[in-house]
A and B are shown apart, each in its own frame.
Chain A
Amino acid sequence: MRNRVIICEASEIIANGLAEIIDSMAQFDVVSRIDSPDRLSERITSSDANLLIIDPSMLGFQNKDFLFQIGKEHPQLILIALVTSYLDHASLTPYNGIIEINDTKAKIIGKMNEFAQSDNARKNDDVELSKRETDVLVAVAKGMMNKEIADLMNISIHTVISHRKNITRKTGIKSVSGLTVYALLNNLINESELI
C-alpha cells in the first residue's frame, strides 16, 4: 500500500524540500501541502492521508488537545513532528515519530520507512475506542438503555454489553454519568444532545 502524506508547515522552503525527498520514495506520495492547521481534520479526510507531518510550533499551547482530537477522528493516522526549532520534550509525546530540520536525506528516508511500518492501528487497539465502541459510548452518554442501543445498532444486547465492558476497561470509567463526562470532554457529543 502506498502511503499518503500530508505536510503541514508554514515555511515554503522547508515544506517543498521535504516534499521533494518524500516524493523521491517509491512508497510515499505527498497528497497535500498546507501552511496552517486550519481545517486540518477535513483536509486529512478529503485527501485520505494516513501520515501527517506537522510542525508542532504551528499549534501553539493547545498542541496536545488538538492532536488528541485529530487522533480520535483519524485513528489510523501516523503522526510525525517536523521539528524546526527547540521544543520542550513533553510537547513531542503525542507524536509517533520525529523528523528534525537537520536530518540528512538518507536519514529522513530511513525514518519514513520506519514510521510507515509502525502499526499505528494495532497500537491504538489497546487504549483507543473502536468506531463501534465509540458509537455505543455516545448512546450510553445520551442516556440510552442497552436494549435501545442494541435495537438502534442492530446488534445483540450481549454485544452491547461486551462493548461496554471494553469501554470501561479502556477508559477506566464505570458509571453512566462518568462516561457522559468522558464523551463531552472528548467532543464525541455536545451538551445540546443530552436530555
Chain B
Amino acid sequence: MSPSKIPADLRYARTHEWVRERPDGTLEIGITDHAQSALGDLVFVELPEAGRVLGAGEACAVIESVKAASDIYSPVAGTVLETNEALVSTPETINQDPYGAGWMLRLRPAESGTADGLLSAADYQQILQSESA
C-alpha cells in the first residue's frame, strides 16, 4: 500500500481530521488520506446543518464505508458556515481527493477555537507510524 499523503500546510487531529486555515480566517475540515484509505470505499456521508455550533471534539458528521460507520469530530470549536453538499450524492469524492474536492465543512472558529493545539504534519506522520508499528 502506498504511504499516505500528509500535506505540510495543514493541521491534523488525532482522530484523523485535517484543518485548513483560509485567508478569511475561517477553517475548512475534512478527513485525511490515511483515514479514507483505512475506511475503504465510502458509500454514505451525513453532514451537519449550517449554523450549528460545535464544541471542540464534538461529533459533527457521519461517514460510512462498506466496512464501518464512523463519526467525524470537529477539531476546533466554532459555527458551521457551509458543508460540501455534493458529497451526499458522491461520497467517493472523499476517497479520490480527500484534501481538495473532498472537504466536508467550513467553520467560523469560536473565540476560544483555534487550530494552534492541533498536530503538525510531522507530528501526525509520527502518530501514523507508531500506529502501524
The answer to whether A binds B is no
Residues in B lying within 8 Å of A, measured CB to CB: none
A residues whose Cβ falls under 8 Å from a Cβ of B: none
